[in-house]
Amino acid sequence: MESLRGLSSSPASAYDELVTGQKSIRYHWQGILSVIRALPGGLGERVESARRQLDESGATVNLLDDRAAARWTFDPLPLVIAPDEWSRIESGLIQRARLLDKVLADIYGPQQLLKEHLLPPMLVHANRHFLRPAQVTDGAEPQRHLCHYAVDLVRLSDGRWHVLADHTELPAGAGYALEMRRVLARSLPEAFRSIPVRHLRPFFDRWHESLRSVAPANVSQPNMALLTPGSLSATYFEHVYLSRVLGIPLVEGGDMVARDGQVSIKTLAGLRPVHVLLRRLDSSFADPLEMRADSALGVTGLVEATRSGRIALANALGSGVVETPAMMPFLERVSERLLGEPLELPSLDVWWLGEPSALSFALANLDLMIVRPCLGQDREPIIVGMLEPAERQALVDRIRAQPGQFVAQYPMTPSLTPKWDGQSLVPSAVVLRAYVVADHDTYHVLPGGLAREPDGDTALRSLARLHGTLKDVWVLAEDAADVQLPPMRRFHQLAVERSSADLQSRVADNLFWLGRYIERLDNDARLLRTTAARVAQGAVGPRDAVELRLLGRLLDQANLMDHTSALAPPESALFQQGLAAVAADDRGLATVLDGIQRLTATMRDRFSIDMTTAAGPEMIEVRKRLLAARGNLDPLLAALDEIVRFVATLSGLAQENMTRGTGWRFLDLGRRLERGLHILNAALAPFSISPIDWDASMRLALELCDSTITYRTRYLGQLQPAPVLDLVILDDANPRGLVFQLRAIKGHLDYLARASGVTVAAPPDSLEADLESVVRQFGGDEQAWRHEGLALALLRDVTSDAEQHLDKLSEAITRAYFSHVPAAQAVGSSGGD
């Protein structure tokens, strides 16, 4: 087993998690190593399976990044911790959480610690996380300031765990830990069958109950939500994930409003009060009225609502004030004062340079130390021994000018744990992040967490971010009796309701436009595929030339090809080069893909796991294939086929998996409206150009409406205008026909009117009658409709009228449901007589 580790390369001062001083494997590691040795296909295959699952879930990548660059990588070897050792860690974490909660209550309350000189006032008043509006001078005090908490731990050479950093403002990572455990359990099931690893899920059940417990006292059935800054957040995946695991909706600041001391979510049916917010938004951005005035992420009036006691925040605003490493040297005395007991988990030795003695000591030993800013935004460490003489002098000058803004400490060497490098196990430094959640009068610790390999030259770098190499943490159980069951939940009578008008207006808007973008992507891909298939055949015949001229005009109109190339002769190199360039061109197709990528990333909390996979990683792969097809028609055709199948997959999942509530209605409403416009602007547009090209127009109309097989079956290949137009316009059984879209739109608007009480008028019934009338014109004598031009003029007028109705309908939906403004009225007009 020694071959598993490069023991000779391990620093002599580093504690080895795997191997004892006598070079024997520690007992709690023997189970996982035995499983790895017995794997029939080796560990590499399992690693790739786990990484693929994490990528598909969107955990490791930012879906708004076109390059899909991974933020962190996954190591399959967990950090294994023995039961007795975890018991000591657990006790220390609970004590530290209790202590920091009391410190926060004092800082934002009576400030006795400052009066008794147990904390220097500068660590509070000069701290960027200290928010004066959050001080409790009147109004309600939070039941608990610290509802959840994360702490970074390192084990030093003496074998003891020390606190590296406290995370009290936005403690991230618990959701990633649960997702990593899920993936590892699927990829390495043999280990979980043979090794008694403690479960993580009960912790999240307790977390849900913890949120309920901090609700205002007079609320028996609190409405809860998770407040996120939005999809651009680096940890947005976790926000979505926690929303699902905890069973609470995900909201943004723009979804809410504060009125008369009550915070409510803006829904289609009106305002819905919320009583508890799990906060994932930095405190300083929470309320532009009393915090940062430039914030567009918070809720105006949120601070006043917390004072009124009608909403609870977890964590309370300003909780980050105790994160500063400058607080660590004082916590031992504070613990004796507030808890009457010494700290069980020691902090790293840190000197706050605001004390004259600490400043003198640090300056005398500066070349051996690491210096960190401690009260401002920047907390990145400065390794003094690596500085040039001029840089060192500049640092000394900064320290002497503002000593209270810095802390100093000696470098530390974290313990070593095995890591998979793709071929074998190698030693790697490790930092453990543990998680704590309030549990009635005490706290409960997640029996596991996240372990990470420190990036760069010190474990102190980038403490606030989750990146680099992450791994699961396994806490072993003594026996089956050590397994913890979820807490018993008390059920309250809850009225059964089927209304789904509680959908946020922002979400409804996004779903509506997602439906439009998905349909537009399908329409554009079909139009391009129809054109590319004809060009790829080689020599362009007379019939194809006519159709390609019509298609070129449509591509120009849809901004899918540049004007010059689209109107060039179909057999020319210019036309074919312009078509081949659409994959790499910044035109309509790229814009649509951008829109879908942005919206799907924003609304992951509204999708099932299958839809999230299709709308996330699969979407990225589709885009990569399209970009790889640049300049070549054959790969372009394959990529367009892939896009059509991708849209079909996404549409099928939405059709079968989404409840037929307001969310699905807006998604499908967007699709039906966009498809109707496509029929009018693309499928029927060639008919209005010239009757000479009508054979080509009919073939294109059937192909673009995916109705060729139906027509051939019904009419046995006899191509005539009246039956073609009947199929693509009037047939209400054809899901790609115009009337089908108009009736579906009317059904959705009727439903939304009943659900929300807001009525938007559908296109008038007379429009369908006009369409029937114009189609009948083509059922008469051919001479009449081909040469006299009456039928053609009627078709142009009616399709133009239908297009105007659909355009106005889109504007009306936006005013009524998304922006909530009345229809525009001309100056001087009157709504009355």
The pLDDT tens digits for 713-770 are 998 878 888 899 999 999 999 999 999 999 999 999 999 998 888 899 999 999 999 9
629 phi, psi to nearest 5 deg: -90, 5
Dihedral sign for Cα atoms in the order 692, 696, 702, 706: negative
419 phi, psi to nearest 5 deg: -135, 140
Q: CB 766: neighbour CB atoms within 10 A? A: 9
Query: pLDDT at position 832, please?
Result: 42
Q: Which two tokens stand for residue 438?
A: 């309030």
Domains parsed from the chain with CATH numbers = 52-348+412-482 (no CATH), 349-411 (3.30.1490.270), 526-658 (no CATH), 659-822 (no CATH)
Query: pLDDT at position 40, please?
Result: 82
801 phi, psi to nearest 5 deg: -65, -45
Show contacts of 729-737: CB within 8 Å, 24+ apart: 729/679, 729/684, 729/771, 729/775, 730/771, 730/772, 730/775, 734/705, 734/707, 734/710, 736/675, 736/679, 736/705, 736/706, 736/707, 737/679, 737/705, 737/707
Query: pLDDT at position 404, please?
Result: 95
The residue behind tokens 């009583």 is 275
**Closest Cα to residue 100, out of 61, 164, 145, 70?**
145
Residue 829 half-sphere exposure toward CB, CA atoms < 13 A: 6
The residue behind tokens 């507030």 is 338
Mean pLDDT by 10 residues, the chain (833 residues): 38 82 88 89 83 79 52 88 96 97 96 96 95 83 92 94 95 93 91 92 93 90 93 88 92 91 87 94 94 91 92 95 95 96 94 95 94 86 92 95 95 92 88 94 94 82 81 86 53 52 83 93 92 82 85 89 88 86 73 84 77 74 81 86 89 84 92 95 79 79 91 86 92 94 96 89 93 85 64 86 94 85 47 41
pLDDT tens readout for residues 279-289 = 999 999 999 99
Residues 317, 130: Cα–Cα separation, whole Å: 9
Query: pLDDT at position 501, please?
Result: 58
Query: pLDDT at position 89, please?
Result: 97
Q: What's the chain's Rg over C-alpha atoms? A: 32
Helix axes 389-401, 356-364, angle to 10 degrees: 170
Q: What is the DSSP string of 460-500?
A: TTTTTS--EEEEEEEEBPSSGGGPPPPPP------------
pLDDT > 70 in the chain, percent: 90
Strand ranges (E), 501-578? none
Q: Which two tokens stand for residue 110?
A: 């009576």
Q: In 3-state terms, what secondary structure has residue 115?
A: helix
CB 752 within 8 A of CB 665: yes
